[in-house]
Amino acid sequence: MSWRRIKSAAMVLVTLASVPVLRAVSPVAQNSQEPQPTAEFFLKQGNSFVKAGEWKQAIAAYRHALELDPNALPAHYGLGDAYGAERKFPEAIREYKAVLAAKPGFPGIHAKLGALYEAGGKVSDAVAEYRAEVESHPSDPQAHLALGRALTLARDFPAAEREYHRAFELKPGDAKVHAGLAASLEQSGDAAGAIAEFREALKLSPNDPAIAGQLAGALIQGGKMDDGIAAYRSAMALRPQDPEIHLALGNALQANQDLIGAIREYRRAVELRPAETDYRFQLALALHKAGDYGGAIREFGRVIRQKPAYAQAHEELAAAYLSTGNHAAAIASYHEALQYEPLNPALHEELGLVLRKTGELHRAAAELKRAADLAPDNPDDHRNLAEALEAEGDIPGYIQECREEVRLKPDDPDAHLHLANALQSGGQWEASLGEYRAALKLEPESPDLHFRLAMALKVRPEGAEAAIAELERAVALRPEFPEAMVAMAEMLAVRGDSQHAIPSFREAIRMRPEDASLHAGLAHALEASGDVTGAVGELREAYNMAPDNPDYARQLGEALSRQGDYRSAAEAFRAGLARRPKDAALDLDLGIALSKQNDWQGAAGAFQEALQAEPNSPEIHIHLARVFLEMKNAPAAEGEARAALAVTPNSAEGHEALGAAYLAEGKPSEADRELREALRASPEYPEARLALAQTLRTENKLDDAVANVKEYVRLRPADPEGHTLLADLLQAKGDTEGARRESNEAARLRTPPPPKETQQN
């Protein structure tokens, strides 16, 4: 790290002394009454302006001299110096070459030409001129020193080192030669050699702050941060009022993570040279990095007032505003920056990202597209544009930009992954699978890519087996991969493979013990395996972990209902309703649980609450109709059944409920009609068969009644009520033996089985 900021070219060597004496041809005197100024007069005037640093006036004077005497070589020489100081390099080169044309061996002219070419970035031309100076004056150590510096710029380090050593021979003990060699070694990557040479130079010139600063930079490049900082402090002690040293020390301190110290040095540089925008800019950057966003915004604002067209300052001011959450100000600053650099793709990209963040998707996409158009070979711009188009809903554009990213980065698995996701969004399943596989081919040991491929395969019905295989591979590569383990457990459960789903859920719970959904998933797998008790336990765990989630309360209630614990089920449903009142599904479940406990009043209330939320639910109307029948309120039951049929006229359950209501009202013919409608819609509907048999019995249609009750017994052979009714009907028909047989079967079904010990004995 140099103690001074590296410029784009070396400073032009300008002679501030008088122009060397060169023999000039005097102009022919003209006859006049007043003496006219001569070329010599203007030449002296030009020299005076040069000493005063008044370059424009010097140029005018030297031109007057050449008008009077075109062969006045001192005027050409002086013009070369003045043009060089004004950074008018072509004009300066022309004037120096005029001197060379007249005096080919004039000392220093090739060196001056070399300095001009060096300042203009023409390194090869600079080397040629410096080499010509060396050839003309091989004993001049300064010529070898300048050539060594130019060869260093040309990165011909061995040749540069030879020139520095020749300068040593000609002028031993010259600190500048050691410093030049050190700088060359530093650029070649030989930090140790550079440090040694800078130390030698500093021994020879211990009070030179420039060499001390260069030593500091070499120490830092060599990884000796503390020594480098100490060297900068030594340079500062030699020249405390030099803002460049404070700047360099600030940079070193910032690199050493000492932001407070860096800010202090940047402030000192600004105090010493307030008009230097670069110092203030570095201070603002450091303040932003330190989290002093207000201070950063103030300093960036001052930089912009000093230099309004400084696009980077507007850009960094926008970033500082973003850090405070002031998106509007950030957007305005990006627009200011773009006024001065409208073709800067990075500015369009940054503005687009902010606009996307604020929800201005269309404008964001426009800015990001501009960035991609300006930098068509930048894959990141295409990626950002793809995301903006996705957010805007432009899926074809999203896919196209992802294709551009793949074109630019064909060996990047992430690029293929992005394209795969885009294709999947567009419903191009086969193409997306191809891109997922292309990504995996580039990075076969990536658990994330195996997981992504599994999720894509999961969408296809025939892809379940392959998806599970990919998930197994992902988990094998990364055992602590909860997302993959959860997905695998869920897929195994859906496939009905409880044997493997259960341990997978348990492993996922080990990784994410606070995830209630995993306990619920395990519960369903346990219940599918027949472990209802275990399922209830896991659902209780899920509910306890997320008591505010009524879905877990409902799932727990349903599991308890399947277990036959309707009282506990009702408690769970009530807990869910406390969190989510007016939930028709929860009220329906509660009503069913209360019905199972013969709490008809409570059940009716629950079903009526459910109907408030879903008044057109035929299922709820039918449940309420059956409850009203149990409550001996046949007219109300009829009303609910009719309400169900109004919504679904062909509902077997609706016709059965209406038939049962008619039967309770003593309307057997109407009951007969509705029950036959129910059986027409669902011939295997046992409740309708039983109710029709009972209706036919009241109509004394015993043969039809017997036929229907026998069909019921076929459908529900373990129901003693069916056998009892059949026995009664057979007895009424005079079939005593058949009646006895059915009565015995009913009695057997009502008798509880003996304990297991009794069975074994």
Model confidence pLDDT, tens digit, residues 492-525: 999 899 999 999 999 999 999 999 999 999 999 9
Q: What is the pLDDT of residue 37?
A: 87
Q: Are 283 and 266 in contact (CB under 8 A)?
A: yes
DSSP single-letter state for residue 37: P
Closest of 190, 260, 152 to residue 177, by C-alpha = 152
748: pLDDT strictly greater than 90: yes
Each residue's pLDDT tens digit, 52-78: 999 999 999 999 999 999 988 999 999
In the structure encoding, which two tokens stand for residue 285, read together? 């950057």
Question: For the segment 681-724, what is each residue's pLDDT rounded down to a tens digit?
Answer: 999 999 999 999 999 999 999 999 999 999 999 999 999 999 99
Contact between 491 and 468 under an 8 Å Cβ cutoff? The reply is: yes
What are the helix (H) ranges across 597-701?
A: 600-613, 618-630, 634-647, 652-664, 668-681, 686-698
Using only C-alpha atoms, what is the Rg of the chain? 48
pLDDT band at 106 (very low <50, low <70, confident <90, very high): confident
> pLDDT (tens digit, 9 = 90+) per residue, 257-279?
999 999 999 999 999 999 999 99
- CB-based contact 526:502 (threshold 8 Å): yes
DSSP state of 615: T
pLDDT at 201 (0 to 100): 87
Q: Residue 602: which pLDDT band, with cuts at 50, 70 and 90?
A: very high
Task: Average the pLDDT over each of 28-32, 498-502, 601-605 and give the range with the smallest value.
Answer: 28-32
- 725 touches 694 (CB < 8 A): yes
- What does the pLDDT read at residue 755? 64
The band of 21, judged by pLDDT with boundaries at 50, 70 and 90, is: very low
Is residue 425 scored above 60 in pLDDT? yes
Residue-wise pLDDT for 656-691, tens only, equals 999 999 999 999 999 999 999 999 999 999 999 999
Does the structure show a pLDDT above 50 at 479? yes
| pLDDT above 90: residue 754 | no
Distance in angstroms (rounded) separating the CA atoms of residues 459 and 676:
44
- pLDDT of amino acid 311: 97
Does the pLDDT value for residue 29 go beyond 80? no
Which domains can be identified in the chain, with CATH numbers? Answer: 599-715 (1.25.40.10)
φ, ψ of residue 201 to 5 degrees: the values are: -60, -40
* Interval 13-18 mean pLDDT: 38
Q: Which residue has the tokens 């699978």?
A: 433
- Weakest mean pLDDT among 21-25, 237-241, 307-311, 398-402: 21-25
Give 462's pLDDT tier (boundaries 50, 70, 90).
confident
Contact residues for 506 (Cβ-Cβ < 8 A; gap 6+): 522
Residue 502: its pLDDT value, please?
95
pLDDT at res. 242 = 93
Q: Which residue has the tokens 């879903």?
A: 614
Distance CA 540, CA 414 (A): 42
Nearest to 471, CA basis, from 457, 188, 221, 419:
457
| Model pLDDT, residue 105 | 81
3-state secondary structure of 3: coil
* Confidence category of residue 33, pLDDT binned at 50, 70, 90: low
386: tokens are 């793809």
Highest averaged pLDDT of the listed ranges 199-213, 214-228, 644-658? 644-658
Residue 583 has what pLDDT? 93
Mean of pLDDT values over 736-750: 94
Percent above pLDDT 90 for the chain: 81
The CA-atom distances, in angstroms, between 633 and each of 630, 639, 653 are 7, 10, 19
Residue 575 has pLDDT above 50, yes or no: yes
Helix (H) or strand (E) holding 398: helix 395-408
* Among candidate residues 169, 188, 242, 164, the one with its CA nearest the CA of residue 210: 242
